[in-house]
Amino acid sequence: MKNSLKILGLALTLVLVQSCFVAKDYEAPTDIVKEDHFRTDQLSSDSLSMADLSWRELFTDPLLQEYIDRALINNNDIRIALQQIAIAEAYVKQGKAGYLPVLSGDLSMTRNFPSKNGPSALPKGDHVSIYDLGGNLSWEADIWGKIRSQKRAFDASFLQTVAAHQAVKTELIAGIASAYYQLMALDEQIEVTKETIETRKTSLETTRALKEAGAGTVTSTAVQQTEAQYLDAKAILIDLETQARILENTISVLMNEEPHHIERSALADQRVTTTYKLGVPAQLLANRPDVRIAEAGYRQAFEMTNVAKAQLYPSFTIGLNGGFQSLQLKKWFEQNSLNAGILGGITAPILNGRALKTNYEVSQLEQEQARLQYRKALVQASKEVSDALYNYQAASEKIEIKTDQRSLLEQAVEDSQALLESGYNNFSYLEVLTAQESVLNASLGVINERVAQLNSMVELYRALGGGWK
């Protein structure tokens, strides 16, 4: 017993010697991506970022807010991610319990019938019964930091699941907002196309009248081309209405609802009022869930390397056992049936087929893989921020250009129509058709650039990691 107590005291002393830890402390890498490589041209010293905004502050349309709310509550991906968080929480609890001793109990009755001619032959009777009630308590001293590293690996895994849930929220919010804006753009394009159909119908009637009146510049071919242009606009309308219904179905599914009509506001009522703040380079991607997932994965791999290394060293365990043991049931719980013991021991790997060393080498390689995945996530994230910002700037500039272009083409249609109706001999009706076609394309183009501006705002918000707060 005295020797066992000495071993216990030695193990406790070793626990207090922190310098013996094999496990290294994790430090976030600072050399993954260079800050001066962020190609946004608008980095500033302002530590605020639009990613810190709540999605309600960015998306102020009441109907859009309602759809996002419903999606965040009902979307299946969101609910699956929440279950994954609960699983990770259970493992975190397991990691915290790693420092605690293991307690087990045993209740048994054994009846043996030894050989009568063997060394264990009984002098009386043909069997012996043993009644046993006991418990075992064991505890491993975390000398090399193995248990601590395992706990931190579980913590990192939990952070991954939380960030994964945040990533689903960010993608979901961006997806609904983008589809909603596109739906409003289709509504406006449908109205423009309907107006174009009426205009071309009138042009067709005018062309037929001029042909019947004997206008020299209006031939049967001109009438046919005008009618073909009119029918083309009707086909465009069918395509646009189909796209609108498909987008309605998409938004419905994102809310985990059966496909149904989606109420929406007008595209003209949407205004970009948010000031674009990217934040300083070091904080540029701090809100992105996928980047945080990648870093947590690297941290987990780092801690598992610590665990693998600690397994190469001896483990120190202390055990206690005790209980009641008797050969007679009636004397089972008497004082003389009590038994107890204490054990302190060191277990060290000697020959194990190189399994532990292989495990350590593999963990180092997996750690490097995780570091590369972390860098890949950062590089991709910085590209998405840069792309979104450039797209927003380009769309803003093109809106003005497309609007001016549309105005010029509308005037060209009026002038060419007037020249044709006045009987100007050198004017071909083909020029009228070309001008009308250009006006429709320009009108649809203006709408596309307006929704592109809104979508690039959504994409920049998503690229910065906004939406989950």
Gap between the Cα atoms of 467 and 469, Å rounded: 6
> CB under 8 Å, gap of 24 or more: what pairs does 421-427 form?
421/206, 421/210, 423/215, 423/216, 423/217, 424/217, 425/216, 425/217, 427/217
Q: What is the pLDDT of residue 9?
A: 52
Cross-strand partners of 339: 323
Task: Place 128 in a pLDDT band, splitting at 50, 70 and 90.
Answer: confident
175 with 68: CB under 8 angstroms? Answer: no
| 324 Cβ contact partners less than 8 Å away, ≥ 6 residues apart | 131, 132, 133, 134, 332, 333, 337, 338, 339
Q: Is residue 134 part of a domain?
A: no
Range of the domain at 39: 21-99+144-314+355-463
Q: What is the pLDDT of residue 272?
A: 65
Q: Is the model's pLDDT at 356 over the cut of 60?
A: yes
Q: Is residue 30 part of a domain?
A: yes
Q: What is the pLDDT of residue 246?
A: 92
Q: What is the pLDDT of residue 23?
A: 67
Q: What is the pLDDT of residue 264?
A: 92
| pLDDT tens string 238-278 | 999 999 999 999 999 999 989 999 999 998 888 766 555 55
Q: Is the model's pLDDT at 347 over the cut of 80?
A: no
Q: What is the pLDDT of residue 85?
A: 79
Q: Is the model's pLDDT at 95 over the cut of 90?
A: no
Q: Is residue 320 part of a domain?
A: no
| pLDDT tens string 331-343 | 888 888 888 888 7
Letter for the amino acid at 146?
K
| 342 Cβ contact partners less than 8 Å away, ≥ 6 residues apart | 1, 4, 5, 8, 318, 319, 320, 321
| pLDDT tens string 380-436 | 888 888 888 888 888 888 888 888 888 887 777 777 666 666 655 445 566 666 777
Q: Is the model's pLDDT at 48 over the cut of 70?
A: no
Gap between the Cα atoms of 329 and 81, Å rounded: 55
Q: What is the pLDDT of residue 4?
A: 47
**pLDDT: which is higher, 29 or 42:** 29
| pLDDT tens string 203-239 | 788 778 877 777 556 677 778 888 888 898 899 999 9
Q: Is residue 273 part of a domain?
A: yes
Q: Is residue 267 part of a domain?
A: yes
Give the rounded distance of the alpha carbon of 420 from its chain centre.
Answer: 60
Q: Is residue 138 part of a domain?
A: no
Domain count, the chain: 1
Q: What is the pLDDT of residue 240?
A: 92
Q: Is residue 112 part of a domain?
A: no
Q: Is residue 137 part of a domain?
A: no
| pLDDT tens string 313-326 | 888 788 888 888 88
> Where residue 200 sits, what CATH number does that domain have?
1.20.1600.10
Cross-strand partners of 141: 316
